Amino acid sequence: MIPGVGEYGVDLSIEADDLEGLLSVTPADVSPPPELTFARNVFVPLTTACRYTCTYCTYFDPPGDASLLSLEEVREICRRGADAGCTEALFTFGDDPDDRYTAIHEQLEAWGYDSIHTYLRAACEVALEEGLLPHANPGDQTREEMAAVADLNASMGTMLETTAEVDAHAGPRRKVPGQRLRTIQNAGELAVPFTTGILVGIGESWEDRAESVLAIRELHDRYDHVQEVIVQPVVDNERWSGGTPTLETMRRVTAMARAALPEEVSVQVPPNLAPARELVDCGVDDLGGVSPVTDDHVNPDYAWPELRELEAVAEAAGVPLRERLPVYERFLPSELRRDDFSGRPAEAVDDREWIPPRIRETLEANVRDSVGRVRG
């Protein structure tokens, strides 16, 4: 039983046969992709406060040290991103700042906001005004919290990381897999195109890895809303010295993700953390969001590759490199989808309204300016 699924009202029925079958998958069992995609983004680290203390994470700051960007700072980052041709404002968070973060709560109150989510709304408005599409990653979210910001986001995300209880989720306030799965389910119920993923090397077993991708698949099968699954290796940093997974491990787990997920769900590896060139033939078809403007604030020791490095990865794989938006093609209204789309299925998933009216104008402008540019 996955910890917390009952408590958070997630109903999963992962079959033992599926689990068994996935454990025998190797890179030879999957096909290389027809193309590689990436998105150009700016990282907007809205707050570094987090109620959790994961042992591999350098993103969170303890109470007293945590930062909260002002809306002026958000605007400045977004403007620089828009000027550099970015399409996405990636709002990164910790997870809901708890009561220990009195300074953050007082600052929010002084600015007229009663929670980090109401503040996120205002920040998304700023991004849209600057011409960028918001993609917020605010960690675990209740359905009400997600509904409060969904109409201002092109897509949203949070990493499942793992369905296992691992020591790396340490301390008195721990991430609960059931709550993460509930967040993914909430996105499905609210028709939010969603990005999630697994974190490899934090103490999980091969069975846990297989169970994690199957849990994501099951929720996607129910709601059709998962657009990409990130396969991310944990990496050494000032808080984590537990090592990073071997190339062999990354190849096998990437192939497992590709084999488990339906064709329309992209498999992504972050090119600043994983050896992308050696993983493409395991079914990777996306290189994620990279920024010509800002650091990877979640992994500040690991610089983004230049666009020409992504081109080199695509060239080595013999496939085109195409820029995409934060929201994948198949969620767009039919009149905005590309005619010549040749990769993943572009048919709309169903007739639910995946693109909120509030972001339509910015989306159209970005489609006109960016989508379809082929590099390499």
Residues of this chain that bind ligand SF4 (CB under 6 A): 50, 52-54, 57, 59-60, 94-95, 139, 175
User: 56 or 328: whose CB is closer to ligand SF4?
Assistant: 56
Looking at residue 317, what DSSP letter applies? H
Nearest approach, Cβ of 76 to ligand SF4 (angstroms)? 23
Q: Which is nearer to ligand SF4, 62 or 85 (CB)?
A: 62
Cβ at position 294, least distance to ligand SF4 in Å: 17
Which C-beta is closer to ligand SF4: that of 67 or that of 370?
67
Q: Which residues pair with 321 in a beta bridge?
A: 36, 375
Between 95 and 296, CB nearer to ligand SF4: 95
Question: Least distance in Å: CB of 121 to ligand SF4?
Answer: 20
Give the residue with the Cβ less far from ligand SF4, 60 or 194: 60
Residue 330 DSSP class: G
Q: Which is nearer to ligand SF4, 59 or 331 (CB)?
A: 59
CA triple 346-348-350, angle to 5 deg = 155
The residue count for the chain: 376
- Ramachandran quadrant class, 175 (left: phi over 0; alpha: psi -120 to 50; beta: rest): beta
β-pairing, 374-375 vs 36-45, is unpaired
Which single residue is written with the structure tokens 């150009």? 40
What residues have CB less than 8 Å from 18, skipping those under 6 apart?
214, 260
Give the nearest distance from C-beta 176 to ligand SF4 in angstroms. 11
Q: CB-wise, 301 or 369, nearer to ligand SF4?
A: 301
Cβ proximity to ligand SF4: between 57 and 317 the closer is 57
Strands 36-45 and 286-290: parallel
Q: How large is the angle between the packed helices 247-260 and 206-223, nearest 10 degrees?
A: 30
Alpha helices per DSSP H over 133-290: 143-150, 177-189, 206-223, 247-260
Q: Which residue carries 């977004």 as its tokens? A: 78
Q: How far is the CB of 373 from ligand SF4 (least distance, A)?
A: 32
As measured in angstroms, the least distance from the Cβ of 103 to ligand SF4 is 17
- 141 vs 148: CA distance, rounded Å: 10
What distance separates the 2 farthest-apart alpha carbons in the chain? Answer: 57
Q: How far is the CB of 59 from ligand SF4 (least distance, A)?
A: 4
Is residue 88 helix, strand or coil?
strand
Give the Cα separation of 203 and 162 in Å (integer). Answer: 10
**229 sits in which H/E element:** strand 226-233
CB of 139 to ligand SF4, least distance (A): 6
